[in-house]
Structure 1
């Protein structure tokens, strides 16, 4: 049985900034957040970004910080997305119960893994997600009953393709109902395919893998995204991707300081 998804839902909610921009082909911009601070969440949210990926895989983010960051980001009209540390049902459930507008799951290698993620992220009858928290609806600006009726078709399920196995199985992964956005992790993908990072960007195997992921996403009607290092690369990516994430808070801080210190010492 086919169900409405964020890709085709008729539901309109002005609070869901990332989803609305994706549906309108407006190339929304995201960034990663690794530091556990409400103030950091607020500062990033006020930059004009459309979605902030709270990095619970590689960032210094606890459950408490995850909840606080989602609340701060969503209250400022930006979409919080949580990158969970793995596909386990309980981890995914905890992330969704913050009120996140989307989830990102790393290193998906098979269609079966993708189906399990979809099942864990959807309320019955589409999935097996349980309800018991008052918090999720707040991040969507809804009552709990309204949230229950809309969540399955408005929360963006993002899966990351960043391994050789993921690329080999990307056609089957993209065919899974409930997968909304396929996100390329270029560094892990380069490590898996080439044995080093970062990729130079001209390696045929690396370029072919990226092309295969993009084509599979488009073929199956999914959005495609990736991480990029700066605005110039993001601008170039508009032709091939539906959204990108431009680096993250830790790198942004380091880059600004190093550039200014270099100027000061020159």
Structure 2
């Protein structure tokens, strides 16, 4: 019997009756990926932009996530077509591409993720996990429905162009990155500044006008709840490395005596 792949994130969002909540795996560890997967989160994103990940470690984390009822995503390091091809061939169905500021960049990414004639993705289906080595029937013909592409808006220019970016054919939705957006706005390290929050919400409205979904990264609980109330379709609310860092600091504070200055 031919194999079937899991629904892509855009389909999961379409079927959801609430916003989806997820977390990052930035450690490069399949053990941490599996711990996050078993938490009850809707989504787990494997990061390759700011994490010590290569193709082999991403594959190991995909394997770790595969036994759990959630939707995995991978953020690539850039919109480089070769990188996108390799990650898709690993079997990644949901792709997040950072630092997209113009419709031209969006179109280039959409092309890199699609087979000809719609795009330029290289044909390696028989050799790759993407179509399970030709065990997924009609993968080549149906690949557009087996992959969803999300673009990360992280600059003031990107916010201005958000609707045009979201409207690009082959783009499933957009995702705001408040940290780099704050830096782009001259507010380095101030991702919860009201001006940054307002810019993020502008991307939500732009996505809706384009008929697409919008997500955001928000580790601050108050900001995450505010974004959910503002209409975010999915929010990433924490990362494995941050949870361990803060948790271990709390252990030290709780159990190690502190001497007075």
- TM class by shorter chain equals 0.7 to 0.9
What are the within-5 Å matches in structure 2 for residues 1-266 of structure 1?
A: 15-16=6-7, 18-25=9-16, 26-132=18-124, 133-138=127-132, 143-203=135-195, 206-231=196-221, 233-239=223-229, 240-265=231-256
Give the stretch that moved more between structures: 115-124 or 231-240.
231-240
Partner Cα separation in structure 2 for residue 95 and residue 183 of structure 1: 19
- Note if contact 2:74-2:95 (Cα within 8 Å) is conserved in structure 1: yes
Output the CA distance in 2 between the equivalents of 1:144 and 1:61.
Answer: 27
Cα distance in structure 1, aligned partners of 2:64 and 2:118: 30
Who wins on radius of gyration, i.e. which is larger? 2
Tell me the secondary structure at the aligned position of residue 117 of structure 1. helix
* Alpha-carbon distance, 1:233 to partner: 4.2
- How far apart, in 2, do the equivalents of 1:150 and 1:75 lie? 24
Give the CA deviation at 1:61. 0.6
Shift of 1:138: 4.1
Give how far 1:231 is off.
5.0
Distance 1:231 1:207, change over 3 A: closer
CA-based RMSD: 2.2
Asked whether the 8 Å contact 2:201–2:227 carries over to 1, the reply is: no
3-state SS of 1:145 partner = coil
More divergent stretch after superposition (207-216 vs 82-91): 207-216
2: CA distance, partners of 1:74 / 1:44: 12
Contact 1:159/1:182 (<8 A) preserved? yes
Q: In the aligned structure 2, how far is the partner of 1:149 from the partner of 1:113?
A: 25
